[in-house]
Structure 1
């Protein structure tokens, strides 16, 4: 599942990086593919919608950094938004004072 999603997103970002200049049309087409890829990977609809909305707002209003191409700027925005959705902060594990420590994974 992750491999397929990764391949699809890489393809989308490859197209953006190779396009040179970004337009609203390019961004909309790329975000449509991102949205479809996330939904096919069983990401919640509300999360996907908010994620794409945040990227679109930032991509259309964000300045292009001198060291980055427009496509790389969109990739940076996507990475930052993914980090925000997944929590954004590293949280340390609390270990029991006496072993064993019980860790639950969902």
Structure 2
């Protein structure tokens, strides 16, 4: 399951490669692919919807760091939001 999700997320990030600047349409196309990947991995629809909204808001409305390419910026945002959804602390089982 995780390998499939990883592969699909990697494909989705490919949309952002070779872009000098990201347009809102680019972000929407990439978020659609990420949404489909997460839903295919059986992530709850409400969680996916909230996650996609937060990532889109940060990617479209946020500042792009000069040191990062647009694709790297998207990966950074997605990583931070995935960590927030899954929890930042180690919890005992």
Q: After TM superposition, is the score higher than 0.5?
A: yes
Moved more, 58-67 or 12-21: 12-21
Deviation, structure 1 residue 58 = 0.6
The aligned residue for residue 34 of structure 1 is: 34
For residues 45-97 of structure 1, give each alpha carbon's deviation from its aligned partner in whole angstroms, at most 9, with x where no partner exists: 00000000000111111111111011111110000000000111234x5xxxx
Gaps of 5+ in 2: none
Q: Which structure 2 residues correspond to residues 46-85 of structure 1 after superposition, within 5 A?
A: 46-85=46-85
For residues 10-51 of structure 1, give each alpha carbon's deviation from its aligned partner in whole angstroms, at most 9, with x where no partner exists: 011122122222000000000001101100110000000000
The aligned residue for residue 3 of structure 1 is: 3
Root mean square deviation, CA, Å: 1.2
Q: 2:12 & 2:34 partners in 1: Cα distance? A: 7
* Largest Rg, 1 or 2: 1
SS of the residue 2:15 aligns to: helix
Q: 1:12 & 1:21 partners in 2: Cα distance? A: 16
User: TM (normalized to structure 1)?
Assistant: 0.82
The aligned residue for residue 25 of structure 1 is: 25
Q: 2:82 & 2:25 partners in 1: Cα distance? A: 23
